[in-house]
Chains A and B, each alone.
Chain A
Amino acid sequence: MVDLEKLRTVAKETISRDDVKYLIGWRQGTYGFRVTPCFIEEPGEAEQLIFSPLCTNNLASYLIVTEKLPLPRGEKPDTRKVAVMVKGCDSRAVVQQLIEQGIKREELYIIGCPCEGVLDLKKVEAKFPHILDPVAAQWGKDKIIFQLPEGVVEVPREEVLAQKCLDCRDPNPVIADITLGEEIEAWGNGEYQDVKELEAKSAEERWAFWEDKFSSCIRCYSCRNVCPMCYCKDCILDRLNPSWIYRSTNISENTAFHLSRAFHLAGRCIECGECERVCPVDIPLMKLNQKFSKEVEEKYGYRPGIDPEAKPLQSSYRPDDKEDFIL
């Protein structure tokens, strides 16, 4: 487990460095179980930082999503590093961004936080509704310990952990300049149980399943925006000429949107589960993404975001790649 004192000390030291402009971490949110990303610019602010099972956000997204204003004439760009706190899955996002040259290693200072799994707030808030006062949580052995207003409550981890964390194979950061806390033994088995269950159904049943989910989509694009791997400057969804996917919401355009979103992550998704977490209408997007994780692993022995030296899956090939469906 990551010691809070150590975390804050390291953060203070990091932000005091001359070559770091700011640090991205987590702090307590405005109510209940919520945690919010924060941007630390002064050593004094490091006291706000936390690391707990409530720290669901993948902060690697901010390495990419943060908008920069055009520089005034004559002004030099700030080339100092951005320090970022990462969990295991988040670190895979950083690695994948490095593989794709979306960011440069020298622009980053990575603080690794071994993680025993974060919570699914939908499960937690259903269990403990109507809680306004900030709640702290921490990991116990096979359980999560909540400091609720009425006292300490322990819940078995399977009941509240996010699904992606129950299957996690990378609890430890795969890349870091400094790692806080001890390494954790991985528990995931990589069996893709969810995907296999759906695959076992007939094509009609599968379509019925997805038709129901896709038809509820409101196209707010939060899945795209939160994704650390979605960082095209000119997104196909924003294009009007040609307009590949119309803006109207109906099963046709929604399906086209979800297929293209999922496909753009084929061989790139690092399974942080942020898309599914942020979806306001609870579309099980990880079931789509994990399908690719499974296929890519089975067919090409490839797991995105593990090896910074690897080539992106879809811009590399082997002459003997499988082609059993090709006529």
Chain B
Amino acid sequence: MSEQQFEPSVIAFLCNWCSYAGADLAGTSRIQYPTNLDIIRVMCSGRVNPLFIVNALQQGADGVLVSGCHPGDCHYMEGNFYARRRFTLMNELLNYVGVDAKRFNMSWVSASEGAKWKDVVEEVVENAKEAGPFEQFRRNKINW
């Protein structure tokens, strides 16, 4: 598969209240953006377990996005503050073991930011394309 043809698979964990609504807005506003994303809706970015990211990479994701409300706007007051610490550390860990830094992304997208959502998706997909197919610890690469 050549560089140009590679279409990455990106798993996105979106919080119900902001980012998912933002993506919804992008859709109803007919904003065009790449379709490489598989969205998993969660109630809050603070609900995302770092193991989800490891597991997504194991199961074949080439990139992962976690997106929540802007700091201070969390529906549950402080969920995204915890998420911020957690994924700042997770990002460091993934980097440290040699997973390309472009594979893991986090963003704040509010319910009114359909346009920002498009920018985020474009950047995340572009990042995953640059990083190429993820093979380091994919499950199905292991000989069963």
Residues of B within 8 A of A292 (CB): 89, 92-93
Q: In whole angstroms, how far apart are the Cα atoms of A291 and B95 in the complex?
A: 11
Say how far A196's CB is from chain B's closest CB, in angstroms.
11
The B46-99 residues at the A interface (CB cut-off 8 A) are: 50-51, 54-55, 58, 71-72, 78, 81-82, 84-86, 88-99
Say how far A106's CB is from chain B's closest CB, in angstroms.
30
Residues of B within 8 A of A154 (CB): none
Q: In whole angstroms, how far apart are the Cα atoms of A314 and B78 in the complex?
A: 12
Q: B6 within 8 Å of A by Cβ?
A: no
Q: Given the interface contacts A260-B51, A263-B93, does A208 sit within 8 Å of B88 by beta carbon?
A: no
Residue of B nearest to A318 (CB): B81
The reply to whether B85 and A314 contact each other, CB–CB distance below 8 Å, is yes
The reply to whether B54 and A205 contact each other, CB–CB distance below 8 Å, is no
Q: Given the interface contacts A252-B142, A317-B82, does A263 sit within 8 Å of B96 by beta carbon?
A: no
Q: Which of B88, B97, B107, B120 contacts A322 (CB 8 A)?
A: B88
The reply to whether A317 and B84 contact each other, CB–CB distance below 8 Å, is yes
Q: B100 within 8 Å of A by Cβ?
A: yes
The reply to whether A323 and B88 contact each other, CB–CB distance below 8 Å, is yes
Q: In whole angstroms, how far apart are the Cα atoms of A321 and B124 in the complex?
A: 23
Residue of B nearest to A195 (CB): B96
Q: In whole angstroms, how far apart are the Cα atoms of A68 and B141 in the complex?
A: 43
Q: In whole angstroms, how far apart are the Cα atoms of A291 and B141 in the complex?
A: 28
Residue of B nearest to A262 (CB): B93
The A101-148 residues at the B interface (CB cut-off 8 A) are: none
Number of interface residues of B (CB under 8 A): 40
Q: In whole angstroms, how far apart are the Cα atoms of A255 and B90 in the complex?
A: 14
Interface residue tally of chain A, by bracket? 35 or more
The A226-280 residues at the B interface (CB cut-off 8 A) are: 236, 244-245, 250-253, 255-256, 259-260, 262-263, 266-267
Q: Which of B54, B91, B97 contacts A325 (CB 8 A)?
A: B91
Say how far B95's CB is from chain A's closest CB, in angstroms.
7
Residues of A within 8 A of B88 (CB): 295, 299, 321-323, 325
Q: Which of A198, A211, A256 contacts B96 (CB 8 A)?
A: A198
The reply to whether B97 and A319 contact each other, CB–CB distance below 8 Å, is no
Q: Which of B84, B136, B137 contacts A323 (CB 8 A)?
A: B84
Q: B13 within 8 Å of A by Cβ?
A: no
Q: Given the interface contacts A244-B55, A252-B138, A314-B86, does A325 sit within 8 Å of B106 by beta carbon?
A: yes
Residues of B within 8 A of A253 (CB): 58, 139
Q: In whole angstroms, how far apart are the Cα atoms of A295 and B85 in the complex?
A: 11
Residues of B within 8 A of A262 (CB): 93
Q: Which of A244, A296, A327 contacts B107 (CB 8 A)?
A: A327
Interface centre among B78, B84, B92, B97 (most CB of A within 10 A): B97
The reply to whether B55 and A211 contact each other, CB–CB distance below 8 Å, is no
Q: A159 within 8 Å of B by Cβ?
A: no
The reply to whether A207 and B99 contact each other, CB–CB distance below 8 Å, is yes
List 19 interface pairs A-B (beta carbons < 8 Å), by A numbering: A199-B96, A203-B98, A203-B100, A207-B136, A210-B98, A244-B51, A245-B51, A252-B141, A256-B55, A259-B50, A263-B89, A295-B89, A296-B89, A317-B81, A317-B85, A321-B84, A325-B106, A327-B123, A327-B124
| Contacts from A to B (Cβ < 8 Å) | 198-199, 203-211, 236, 244-245, 250-253, 255-256, 259-260, 262-263, 266-267, 288, 291-292, 295-296, 299-300, 313-315, 317, 319, 321-323, 325-327
